[in-house]
Structure 1
């Protein structure tokens, strides 16, 4: 694999990470702006089943995921 191929691959990975970060920011914003009384559901992995979840726990989990994505991008 040439260095050009490697840099293109890394660029694609960075692009994908940036896309995930943007999506996660939207999720965090949406959860932050929900009324306290609204219900939040989370989807089970590899499934079409949703379960009722605690809004504040879901928000903190999404913020943690966003921080991890940002750190992963910085480490590249």
Structure 2
């Protein structure tokens, strides 16, 4: 029979696992975004979707790529800290 404390520990580790899996999925998706932006032809336009809306604005490709790389780096750091 497990004590309450042991059950809490098990519950926390289960929560951490799903959080880690979710973050890992997001990291993979972000890697695809960075790769796609990196391999665009020079004359291609990049549009960024505005948060909580269906509106897209023309964006600077280099700035967008830099921003996406920073997001990926932050996700990787967060993942390592879990």
TM score, norm. by length of structure 1: 0.97
Aligned residues: 76
Unaligned 5+ runs, structure 2: 1-6
1:19-47 CA-to-partner distances (Å, cap 9, x unmatched) read 01000000000000000100000000000
Instruction: From 69, 73, 76, give the equivalent of 2:79.
Output: 73
C-alpha RMSD over aligned residues: 0.8
Structure 1 runs (4+) greater than 6 angstroms displaced: none
Structure 1 unaligned residues grouped into runs of 5+: none
Q: Which has the larger radius of gyration?
A: 2
SS in 1 for 2:43: coil
With the length of structure 2 as denominator, give the TM-score of the two structures: 0.90
